[in-house]
Amino acid sequence: MARRIRFIEALREGMRQEMERDPSVFIMGEGVGPHGSAFKQTDGLCAQFGEERLRDTPISELAIAGTAVGAALMGMRPIADLMWIDFSMLAMDQICNQAAKLRYISNGQVKVPLVYRMSTGKSKSNAAHHSGSFYSWFINTPGLKVVLPSTPYDAKGLIISAIRDDDPVIYLEHKLLFNTRGEVPEEPYEIPIGVAEVKREGTDLTIVANGAMVGFSMAAAEVMAKEGVSIEIVDPRTLMPYDGEAILKSVRKTGRLLVVEEGFRFCGFGSEIIAHVVENAMDALRVPPKQLTTMHTTIPFSPPMEDYVFPNPERVVDAVRAMLSA
């Protein structure tokens, strides 16, 4: 009878097991130490590994990201917690100009095995500076890998793979998922970076969804199932490099594509997936592909407005209905 734990516990267990296995793994960030991080992601780890390997830092995002690069160049495997993805804007140079590029520039003489962890997405009235989902910027940057788990199982497998990867990996943690529960094996395991998972099989329409949008889409699929509509849900899990084949395979089967994601629309992940599919399998599409994203606006604070601008299960249902009646 398999164990069910919370997403945050699975993430923590993955980090703990890697730190036990490999002394070069350490964690740095604002409050990751005795306090156990903003969302308690590292709760208890400082007690086990000490402050040398759970390093509280000043509010110096650029130096946090850059120090991680330097340590990685020397064979350490830092995990730098940048808290909210929003704060990574202060560290973009070290993430996208340095970490992403040094292995290439040096002609492979160095590698940069590090993980940048960031919480992403909607929460409760986090407002304009704490609700970001702009991971498309990282997807756009050669040299970076980007993962976004949607289940506790994926959270553990992907953090372990990210830590073991020799390139910099952006590990995104969706705030709405921290307390969701699921089956998670006790032992360490990897989920290969770049491999999608079909979270639900179906025949009439393919939804490509990531992070918290997977759950929204599953809920929508339930609703549609009652109406006899069979939806397939593909969760890329890795956003870069994404599993283009798995997506094409599903679309070739269903003939319909809806992308549900929380980033903004313009130059976002939704547009990318749609472009990938039409460039490679346009003839498989029976109706024009669609995307459901967060509306193109700064995120408002007040709940009625905040709820209005983000995707939700009802909107997914509406989008599916519109495509089927097209």
Residues that bind ligand TPP (CB under 6 A): 30, 59, 61, 83, 87, 90
130 catalytic, yes or no?
A: yes
85 or 240: CB nearest ligand TPP: 85
**Residue 116, amino acid:** Y
Distances in Å between the alpha carbon of 39 and those of 18, 62, 84, 145, 175?
20, 21, 10, 23, 9
Q: Is 225 in the site for other proteins (CB under 8 A)?
A: no
Q: Please, what is the minimum distance in Å from the beta carbon of residue 142 to other proteins?
A: 6
Interatomic CA distance for residues 149 and 156, integer angstroms: 9
C-beta closer to ligand TPP: residue 9 or 61: 61
Residue 117 has phi, psi (to 5 degrees) of: -95, 135
- Residue 35 interface partner, choices a copy of itself, ligand TPP, other proteins, none, CB cut-off 5-8 Å depending on type: other proteins
Q: Please say whether the dihedral angle defined by the alpha carbons of residues 57, 28, 140 and 197, taken in this order, is positive or negative.
A: negative
Catalytic residue among 130, 174, 276, 296: 130
To which residue do tokens 């976002």 refer?
Answer: 268
With tokens 């495509």, the residue in question is 323
Question: Helices 269-281 and 244-254 meet at what angle, rounded to 10?
Answer: 70
- Indicate whether 305 belongs to the interface with a copy of itself (CB under 8 A): no
Neighbours of 304 (CB within 10 A): 7
124 binds other proteins (CB under 8 A): yes
Binding to other proteins, residues 56-95 (CB under 8 A): 56-63, 65-76, 78, 86-87, 90, 93-94
Asked if residue 62 binds a copy of itself (CB under 8 A), the reply is: yes
Q: Looking at beta carbons only, is 104 or 192 nearer to other proteins?
A: 104
Q: Is residue 50 near other proteins by the rule CB under 8 A?
A: no
User: Which CB atom, from 26 or from 135, has the smaller least distance to other proteins?
Assistant: 26
Cα 226 to Cα 104: distance, rounded to the nearest angstrom: 52
Give the integer Cα–Cα distance in Å for 315 and 300. Answer: 19
Q: Which does 68 bind (CB under 5 to 8 A by kind): a copy of itself, ligand TPP, other proteins, none?
A: other proteins
Helices and strands in the chain: count of H runs, count of E runs: 12, 14
Query: In the window 256-295, what residues touch a copy of itself (CB under 8 A)?
Result: 263-264, 266-272, 274-276, 278-280, 282-283, 285, 288-291
Whether the Cβ atoms of residue 174 and residue 148 lie closer than 8 Å to each other: yes
CA gap 14, 10 in Å, rounded: 6
Q: How far is CA 176 from CA 21, 149, 172, 199, 263, in A?
A: 30, 12, 12, 18, 15
Piece in contact with other proteins (CB under 8 A), picked from 98-106, 224-232, 279-287, 313-321: 98-106
Q: Does 30 bind a copy of itself (CB under 8 A)?
A: no
Interface with a copy of itself by CB under 8 A: which residues?
A: 62, 86-87, 89-90, 92-93, 96-97, 100-101, 104-105, 127-129, 134, 136-137, 139-143, 240, 263-264, 266-272, 274-276, 278-280, 282-283, 285, 288-291, 296-298, 300
